A and B are shown apart, each in its own frame.
Chain A
Amino acid sequence: EAGVAQSPRYKIIEKRQSVAFWCNPISGHATLYWYQQILGQGPKLLIQFQNNGVVDDSQLPKDRFSAERLKGVDSTLKIQPAKLEDSAVYLCASSLGRGSYGYTFGSGTRLTVV
């Protein structure tokens, strides 16, 4: 089966600009996650979707970050305006559903804010 697809692979922007990342989960996976991985740290959950509804966005900086999952399939994560500390790898993952423990991660988008 095809894996979790993410684009772009790399992105360099200036601070205060906006940026968007796209994720296409594995077909049939109801749950989608966005994680932020800052260099030298483990991934941290930003937001979790169950179909097109938000389950957990407690660690999403809502003043600048937004995410949506229209139609319960693809998802977009946006940052506006970006700050230097947003430089990180943004990982998307998906799983079958609430009872499933198996995640599949994408290769991530590496964001550099200068």
Chain B
Amino acid sequence: AQKVTQAQTEISVVEKEDVTLDCVYETRDTTYYLFWYKQPPSGELVFLIRRNSFDEQNEISGRYSWNFQKSTSSFNFTITASQVVDSAVYFCALRMMNTGFQKLVFGTGTRLLVSP
């Protein structure tokens, strides 16, 4: 079975602080995808990034960066110089690769509050 754990329920920071959201996953499969989604108050899930299991190269995109470590089954997400607009719930998700079943398994989410 697959499982995603986001231990941080809520994080509060002041604007311009850096913040890291943790994600730990469990799967017996060797090939899989990992995702981060953002859910603003409007409710829709906004795709941020996808990583596959054989690509551990970390990535930076603007103020966002991701740290994928297969050895510790972690896929952490960092926002540099946070802004009020970053306030949202962030979900980490897992999907198996070699299957026609494309179910996303989500963590419970981390609510990020960025105050001015």
Contact = CB atoms under 8 A, between A and B. Distances in A.
B83 interface: no
B106 A42 contact: yes
A110 B37 CA distance: 19
Interface string B90-115: 01010100001111101111000000
Given A101-B50, A108-B44, A44 B106 contact: yes
Nearest to B92: A42
A105 B103 contact: no
Contacts of A89: 43
A33 B101 CA distance: 11
Interface residues on B, range: 20 to 34
Interface of A is mostly: strand
B30 interface: no
Interface of B is mostly: loop
A13 interface: no
Contact of B43 (A33, A45, A93, A107): A107
A101 B108 contact: no
Given A42-B4, A91-B45, A98 B108 contact: no
Interface in B35-75: 37, 42-47, 50
A106 B44 CA distance: 6
Given A42-B107, A101-B50, A55 B100 contact: yes
Given A45-B103, A100-B102, 16 more contacts: A40-B108, A40-B109, A41-B109, A42-B93, A48-B103, A50-B100, A56-B103, A89-B43, A98-B100, A101-B33, A102-B50, A104-B47, A105-B45, A107-B42, A107-B44, A110-B43
